[in-house]
Amino acid sequence: MIIGIAAQEFKSHFKTPMAWVLLAVLQIILGYIFLTQVETFDLMQVKLASIEGAPGLTDIIVTPLFSNAAIILLLVTPLLTMRVICEERRNKTLTLLLAAPISNMQIIIGKYLGTLTLLWLIVMLIALMPLSLLMGGELDIGKYLANVLALILLVAAFTATGIFLSTIASHPTIAAMGTFGILLILWLFNISKTISDQPNELVEYLSLLNHYQNIQTGLINSADILYFFLFVATFIVLSISCLNKQRLQK
Amino acid sequence: MSALIEVEHLSRYFGKICAVNDISFKLSKGEVLGFLGVNGAGKTTTMQMLSGCLAPSQGIIKINDYNILKDPLLAKQSLGYLPDTPPLYKDLTVKEYLHYCAQIHAIPKQRINAALDTVFSRCGLTSVTNRLISHLSKGFQQRIGIAQAIVHNPDLIILDEPTIGLDPIQIIEIRALIKELGKNHGVILSTHILNEVQETCTHVQIIHQGKLIVKESIDTINKSINESSVIFKTTRPIDKQILLTIPGVQNLEVLSNNEFKINFNHSHDLTQQIAEIIIKQDWGLIEISPVKKNLETLFIASTEEPA
Amino acid sequence: MTVMSRINQQLHLKNIVITTLILFTLVNLSWLSNKYTYQIDISTSSSNTLSFESQKLLNLLPEPIRITAFIEKGQSIRSQISQLVDRFKYQKQDISLIFIDPQLHPEQIKNLKSSAKDIILVEYQNRVEKLNYIDEESLSYALSQLANMDTHSIKTLLKTNIGTHLNLSEKQIIVLNAIILLIFPLVFLTTGFIIWHKRKAA
């Protein structure tokens, strides 16, 4: 049942030109960033070769690519998630799901997975690019995989936030702005690390960027991984609770 | 056989406003229940509660013996619902959309195609299966809405104003479809068109300001409203006293010179008796006819504010 | 019709209680996840793991270590340093790190009598080592000196990095450019257009 809803949600993105245009635009932007980075490395490599313990291909090309991708997906995710529940409620098509023998949990998780699959597809596209470097160089595969894992977890967190906002907002635009706002705040929490002398532990824990960067280094800490799982769980639970509430009160 | 749907003391408040007030009824297989009411009487709210889209403030709804609040998934398995706005994904084709509907109603994969074929022919959608829903007319969209409610062959079908916005020919088609559905399913139908109830329903309920004020089978209603008075014309003057002595006759009104109206108790049909007396008295009977009061009269009478 | 007996309000309450309970559990889990951590370095070059020599060194230092970094606020080097210290902390818990903004506390800088912009003080057993730059090697070296240990093994500590060369011919780069910037986007756009056009006609 969940898979059915997810598949429908995923397919519906591709029935309009929007997802395709988005894929093309993302590919051009991130491709450009990637290629610029390759060029930079190409110019630097003579100098780098003389330094012992200097950063390699992975540090100079892959990590910045994934850092930039994270910021771009922070902008894109709200656009993809804003319509998920919100638009259905406005078009009154949500009734179809509410009157069917499906629980609110199945609706939310199904919709969540549907949109998440699209974002994961985008992550895979991004992950493909550095592999082309294997033609002429060597990658730190462990670190590369850590970067991919970091981005996979990050978009999962982004999407969960987006779904939650889409459930509570009355209009898709509000949902998009809200998602963007929350994500940006959580992203920027990281600043406290560099600004204050004694960083607030709670703020530091909440920062998305902190955990993202930690995983990116290739050092996989259970706390960082669990942070993303708990993050997703929190917003999914809140969304389900909101949908329940709407059925009760209206 | 237990009732398909059992509703007990159902109420719904929106804040302090009471939209539905203490409604109880039952419906069995093979019955078509018409829910009549003016706009804002609480029809749609009731339908939403029956379909599980809105939780009641009070009362119990049981579908096939499953409480819709306690076992919503089991209860909803035997339910098809067409809300007042058909829930259509307009950028899908008819087939894609109904395929999805079949899927979320847990029809096994291998039976989906058969179910779709049945529903296409039933709702007259065979010619448009590959068209985009947004490109179809309102009539077709309404039919897709109904198709969506019956694709999983539910025991209970709830239709909220199914003929709204259709042209007369489409209305006739849809009514025929509802009648046919009523043979093997239980159907609940809300409408403010009285004709529709008289034509398609086996039972009628009139809801007004959230309360259920009339609850009858259509036969009883037809009887009571058709035969409570009679109008006749004569060529010669009549003797009112003779007619008033017939047991059951309540009063006699003079409509014009030679035209009279007799009202009598609902329980007896006196038309024949009156006709016989007039002929026997040789008053020169020109015409006699039972007054065809329709549902409208009943509706207006029962929804009128008590002065 | 008392307010108390309304079913939807009871369900509403139930919903709130369940949600609160779950969220409470999640908060507790997050606390636990920070208390009991497990980490693994999956980078092929093991760039996040302290070298064997550093680990051995830390195990030989029983007393707490204090690190004070005089670095301006808002510098990205601050987070780099804390990441590095975190790696040491994973091996030895009682290492503390404090940042001080030199502009806000100029008097402390004067006492240090140093001209360098960034100063990092490493304290062990009341002895202090002054550093201008910090990485695994320099920190380990400083620590071994503070502990009066043989510094020989630390000096030779060097990591091999993976992928320091990229040999792409000009032709290969052009092809790569074309695939990433032209072919992929064009495929997406045409597919999208074809699907859209087909559906529009339906």
Q: So what's the pLDDT on residue C4?
A: 44
Q: How far is C146 from chain A, CA to nearest CA, in Å?
A: 25
Cβ contacts of C5 on chain B, cutoff 8 Å: 58
Q: So what's the pLDDT on residue B226?
A: 55
pLDDT band at C151 (very low <50, low <70, confident <90, very high): low
Q: How far is A201 from chain C, CA to nearest CA, in Å?
A: 11
Report residue B60 as tokens: 């119990």
Among A196-200, B124-128, B166-170, name the one with the lowest average pLDDT: A196-200
Q: How far is B77 from chain C, CA to nearest CA, in Å?
A: 22
CB contact under 8 A, C79 and A194: yes
Tell me, yes or no, whether A136 lies in a domain.
no
Q: So what's the pLDDT on residue B201?
A: 87
Q: Per-residue pLDDT averaged across A39-53, rounded?
A: 78
A204 → chain C, closest CA residue: C79
Which residues belong to CATH 3.40.50.300 in chain B?
A: 5-223
Q: So what's the pLDDT on residue C84?
A: 83
Residues 96-155 of A with CB under 8 A from C: 125, 129, 132-133, 135-143, 145-146
CA–CA dist B7, B3 (Å, integer): 10
Exposed e or buried b for every residue in B3-21, given b needs 16+ CB within 10 A? bbbbbeebbbbeeeebbbb
Given A205, A221, A248, which is nearest C11 (Cβ)? Answer: A248
Given B54, B87, B91, which is nearest A250 (Cβ)? Answer: B54
Residues 121-160 of A with CB under 8 A from B: none
Q: Per-residue pLDDT averaged across B70-77, rounded?
A: 88
DSSP string, B93-138: BHHHHHHHHHHHTT--HHHHHHHHHHHHHHHT-GGGTTSBGGGS-H
pLDDT band at B307 (very low <50, low <70, confident <90, very high): very low
Tell me, yes or no, whether A43 lies in a domain.
no
Q: Are strands B211-217 and B229-234 parallel, antiparallel or unpaired?
A: unpaired
pLDDT band at A227 (very low <50, low <70, confident <90, very high): very high
Q: Per-residue pLDDT averaged across B116-129, rounded?
A: 90
CB contact under 8 A, A12 and B73: no
Q: So what's the pLDDT on residue C2?
A: 46
CA–CA dist B192, B9 (Å, integer): 23
Q: So what's the pLDDT on residue C3?
A: 47
Q: Per-residue pLDDT averaged across A191-217, rounded?
A: 77
- Rounded to whole angstroms, the maximal C-alpha distance in chain C is 87
Tell me, yes or no, whether A63 lies in a domain.
no
Name subunits touching B (3+ CB pairs < 8 A): A, C
Q: So what's the pLDDT on residue A195?
A: 61
pLDDT tens for residues C24-63? 999 999 999 888 888 888 887 777 777 777 888 888 888 8
Q: So what's the pLDDT on residue A226?
A: 94
> Of the ranges A153-162, B63-72, C58-67, C191-200, which is most confident?
A153-162
CB contact under 8 A, B83 and A100: no
Question: What number is the ipTM of this complex?
Answer: 0.86
- Out of 3.40.30.10, 3.50.50.60, 3.80.30.20, 3.90.700.10, the CATH code matching C52-155 is 3.40.30.10
Number of folded domains that form chain A: 1
A6: domain range? Answer: 2-28+73-128+154-248
CB contact under 8 A, C6 and B130: no
Q: Per-residue pLDDT averaged across C130-141, rounded?
A: 80
Q: So what's the pLDDT on residue A250?
A: 52
Mean pLDDT of chain A: 89
Q: Per-residue pLDDT averaged across A93-97, rounded?
A: 91
CB contact under 8 A, A8 and B77: no
Q: So what's the pLDDT on residue B223?
A: 67
How would CATH label the architecture of B229-290? 2-Layer Sandwich (3.30)
| CATH number for the domain whose boundaries are B5-223 | 3.40.50.300
Cβ contacts of A19 on chain B, cutoff 8 Å: none
pLDDT tens for residues B1-59? 568 888 988 888 887 888 888 888 888 888 888 888 877 788 888 998 898 888 888 88
Q: Per-residue pLDDT averaged across A124-128, rounded?
A: 93
Q: Which residues of C touch B (CB under 8 A)?
A: 1, 5-9, 11, 199-200, 202
Name subunits touching A (3+ CB pairs < 8 A): B, C
CA–CA dist B274, B262 (Å, integer): 9
pLDDT tens for residues B231-275? 888 888 888 788 777 777 777 878 887 888 887 765 666 778 888
Residue B297 has pLDDT above 90, yes or no: no
Percent of chain B at pLDDT exceeding 90: 17
Determine contact, residues B160/B136, Cβ cutoff 8 Å. Answer: no
Given B54, B90, B104, which is nearest A100 (Cβ)? Answer: B104
Which residues belong to CATH 3.30.70 in chain B?
A: 229-290
Tell me, yes or no, whether A239 lies in a domain.
yes
| Of residues B67, B62, B58, the one with CA closest to residue B18 | B58
Determine contact, residues A161/A176, Cβ cutoff 8 Å. Answer: no
DSSP string, A134-191: GGTB---HHHHHHHHHHHHHHHHHHHHHHHHHHHH-SSHHHHHHHHHHHHHHHHHTTH
Q: Per-residue pLDDT averaged across A112-139, rounded?
A: 91
Cβ contacts of A58 on chain C, cutoff 8 Å: 162-163
Tell me, yes or no, whether A62 lies in a domain.
no
pLDDT band at B205 (very low <50, low <70, confident <90, very high): confident
Q: So what's the pLDDT on residue B281?
A: 82
CA–CA dist B134, C201 (Å, integer): 12
The CA R_g of chain A, rounded to the nearest whole Å, is: 20
CB contact under 8 A, B135 and C9: no
pLDDT band at A6 (very low <50, low <70, confident <90, very high): very high
Tell me, yes or no, whether A34 lies in a domain.
no
pLDDT tens for residues B134-158? 999 888 898 899 999 999 989 899 9
Q: Which residues of B touch A (CB under 8 A)?
A: 14, 51-55, 72-74, 76-77, 79, 81, 83, 85, 87-92, 100-101, 103-106, 148
Cβ contacts of C195 on chain B, cutoff 8 Å: none
Residue C134 has pLDDT above 70, yes or no: yes
**How far apart are the two ends of chain C, measured CA to CA in Å?**
54
Residue A8, CA distances (Å) to A5, A155, B40, B107, B122 in order:
5, 20, 35, 16, 25
Q: Per-residue pLDDT averaged across C101-123, rounded?
A: 76
pLDDT top residue among A168 and C109 = A168
Q: So what's the pLDDT on residue C5?
A: 55
Q: Per-residue pLDDT averaged across C169-181, rounded?
A: 88
> Of the ranges A60-64, B198-202, C3-7, which is most confident?
A60-64
For testing contact with chain A, the best of C45, C161, C169 (most A CBs within 10 A): C161
